[in-house]
């Protein structure tokens, strides 16, 4: 007989019902396996939910994004059919700047940084970044040009065991460089 969750009766090894308290535990375990040194235990699931919101919100602007969900397709084909990368930047509206990723490590204990974000060698043409209050669409090449010509200081995060290397792009610069941006004021329908 197959073991089941005593709360939602999901078979062992299968996803729990969405309202089952163990469903969040399952998500936390997955997140910690992907990003064990992340200070935000829900960073992976938050990012996935944000991607869904962006796909829906951008479609209202006539910009349709079809995301690849498997690691295989993301690695071999890129993040989406439209060659668009989406990054959640939770704190951008608090700080007045975007945190543009250029390198990452899966664990703080690893010495070597891997190019990521705008420096990832993939087919990305468009770069969407922000949060539900302020969302930007950039041409990736414009962000790379800014990095190369302006040479902003790179910062590592978190300070006690960095896994992300990034630079900060003030909103005034982002407003000037972007293809377009959306604010929550533009979005009366939520």
CA atoms within 13 A on the CB side of 33: 6
Q: Is the pTM of this model over 0.95?
A: no
Give tens-digit pLDDT for 35-54: 566 555 567 788 899 999 99
Tokens at 90, concatenated: 């939770």
For residue 136, count other CB atoms closer than 10 A to its CB.
23
**Please, where are the H alpha helices in the chain?**
21-34, 43-59, 71-77, 92-95, 140-150, 171-177
Q: pLDDT for 49-98, tens place per residue? A: 999 999 999 999 999 999 998 988 888 888 999 999 999 999 999 999 99
Q: Where are the domains of the chain?
A: 21-186
Q: With beta carbons less than 8 A apart as the criterion, state whether 46 and 30 touch.
A: no
Q: Most distant CA pair in the chain: distance in Å?
A: 64
Q: Is 36 helix (H, G, I), strand (E, B) or coil?
A: coil
């Amino acid at each position: 007989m197959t073991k089941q969750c005593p709360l939602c009766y999901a078979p062992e090894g299968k996803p729990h019902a969405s309202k089952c308290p163990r469903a969040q535990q399952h998500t936390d375990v997955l997140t910690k396996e992907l990003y064990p040194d992340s200070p935000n235990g829900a960073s992976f699931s938050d990012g996935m939910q944000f991607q869904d919101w962006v796909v829906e919100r951008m479609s209202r602007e006539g910009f349709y994004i079809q995301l690849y969900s498997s690691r295989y397709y993301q690695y071999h084909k890129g993040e989406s059919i439209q060659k668009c990368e989406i990054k959640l930047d939770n704190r951008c509206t608090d700080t007045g700047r975007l945190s543009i990723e250029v390198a990452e490590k899966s664990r703080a204990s690893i010495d070597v940084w891997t190019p990521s974000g705008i420096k990832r060698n993939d087919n990305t043409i468009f770069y969407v970044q922000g949060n539900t209050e302020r969302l930007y669409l950039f041409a990736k090449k414009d962000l790379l040009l800014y990095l190369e010509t302006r040479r902003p200081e790179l910062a590592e995060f978190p300070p006690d065991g960095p896994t992300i290397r990034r630079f900060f792009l003030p909103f005034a610069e982002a407003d000037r460089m972007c293809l377009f941006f959306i604010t929550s004021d533009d979005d009366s329908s939520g």
